[in-house]
């Protein structure tokens, strides 16, 4: 028997300073995801451009973070590797 793990869906994404994302899930949890390690990968290098990075938004069905039709990040990656957001992470600082 195969078991499938499901993760909460992403409801909102806010790009933050330092190439970090504040991600809100549909269960109310918030996680801060550091995108800096991704920038070493060729596919994510365009995110070094602040204008491109700031285009981050939630997939319309909540299955990931999308920047454009070539760059995205699965909700499971953010859920598993993001850190639980501290209250100050939720402040509206850009």
Residue 26 within a domain: yes
pTM over 0.85: yes
**76 found inside a domain:** yes
Strand locations in 1-94, DSSP E?
A: 10-16, 20-25, 30-34, 57-58, 64-66, 72-74, 83-84
Report if residue 15 sits inside a domain. yes
The pLDDT tens digits of the residues spanning 35-94 come to 999 999 999 999 999 999 999 999 999 999 999 999 999 999 999 999 999 877 766 555
Domain CATH number, residue 44: 3.30.2020.10
Structural domain boundaries enclosing 28: 10-87
CA 55 to CA 81: how far, in whole Å? 21
Please check whether residue 39 lies inside any domain of the structure.
Answer: yes
The b/e string for 52-85 (b: 16+ C-beta within 10 A; e otherwise) is: ebeebebbeeeebbbbeeebebebeebbeebeeb
Give how many domains the chain has, as a whole number: 1
Residue 4 in domain? no
* 51 domain residue, yes or no: yes
């Amino acid at each position: 028997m195969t078991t499938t793990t499901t993760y909460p869906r992403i409801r909102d994404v806010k790009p933050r300073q330092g190439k970090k994302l504040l991600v809100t899930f549909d269960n109310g949890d918030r996680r801060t995801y550091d995108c800096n390690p991704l920038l070493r990968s060729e596919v994510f290098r365009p995110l070094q451009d602040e204008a491109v990075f700031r285009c981050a938004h939630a997939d319309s069905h909540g299955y990931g973070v999308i920047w454009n039709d070539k760059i995205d990040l699965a909700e499971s990656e953010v859920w598993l590797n993001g850190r639980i957001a501290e209250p100050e992470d939720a402040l509206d600082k850009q």
